[in-house]
């Protein structure tokens, strides 16, 4: 089996991206949108690239109570190689959160979802509970090639009478617009293992 190494670094559709506020303004009306994928998305990408029987993970105690995740996978020669990273346990569901975060970080060591660290900063309005009042947007260059939404985004719903749709920030698709832009040199090189 020949491994498609570039598939590891392919972007995820917006439906697979989750968001949380990073920094919050002093008046608590806006939050800096931080994108992330779930550990399950990492597992699914590993299944797609290597096949379910050609990768496995191992967890160990990390320094100061954290957890380390090592992802083993078979390269093109069938040799088992690995990447590893770790995380602290979390405040909510401490052990499960630590395991998930360590797996996501180990996946990023393989290039899975690493592009999310490069997204442009985006401040999004928060509701009274501190959650995003609207869905943050992914720039077109960070969407999968040929992407077609599986569910309509909130911004694609018709605006009430008399209201206009707000202008999309530069480089971002407007509601209902579907385009894929891949600037030359934007794609990372395949991993050399």
pLDDT tens digits along 8-23: 999 999 989 999 999 9
Distance CA 78, CA 39 (A): 25
pLDDT tens digit sequence for 92-143: 777 888 899 999 999 999 999 999 999 999 999 999 999 999 999 999 999 9
Task: Please name which of 118, 126, 83, 117 lies closest in space to residue 103, comparing C-alpha atoms.
Answer: 83
Total-model pTM: 0.71
* In the chain, where the domains are located: 1-37+115-143+165-188, 39-112
Inform me whether the pLDDT recorded for 148 exceeds 60: yes
Q: How far is Cα 14 from Cα 18, in angstroms, rounded to an integer?
A: 8
CA distances in angstroms from 97 to 37, 131, 133, listed in the order given: 13, 20, 25
Sheet holding 123-125, edge to edge: 18-24, 30-36, 123-125
């Amino acid at each position: 089996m020949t491994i498609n190494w570039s598939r590891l670094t392919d972007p995820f559709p917006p439906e697979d991206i989750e968001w949380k506020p990073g920094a919050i303004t002093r008046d608590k009306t806006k939050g800096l949108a931080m994108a992330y994928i779930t550990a399950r998305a990492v597992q699914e990408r590993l299944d797609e690239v290597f096949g379910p029987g050609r990768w496995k993970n191992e967890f160990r105690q990390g320094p100061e109570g954290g957890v380390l995740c090592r992802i083993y996978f078979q390269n093109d020669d069938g040799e088992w190689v690995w990447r590893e990273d770790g995380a602290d346990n979390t405040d909510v569901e401490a052990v499960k959160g630590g395991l998930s975060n360590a797996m996501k970080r180990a996946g990023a060591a393989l290039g899975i979802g690493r592009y999310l660290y490069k997204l442009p900063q985006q401040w999004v309005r928060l509701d009274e509970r501190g959650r995003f009042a609207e869905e943050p947007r992914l720039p077109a260059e960070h969407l999968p090639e040929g992407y077609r939404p599986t569910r309509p985004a909130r911004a694609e719903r018709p605006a009430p009478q008399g209201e206009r749709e707000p202008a999309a920030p530069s480089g971002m698709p407007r509601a209902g617009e579907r385009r894929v832009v891949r600037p030359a040199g934007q794609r990372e090189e395949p991993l050399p293992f």
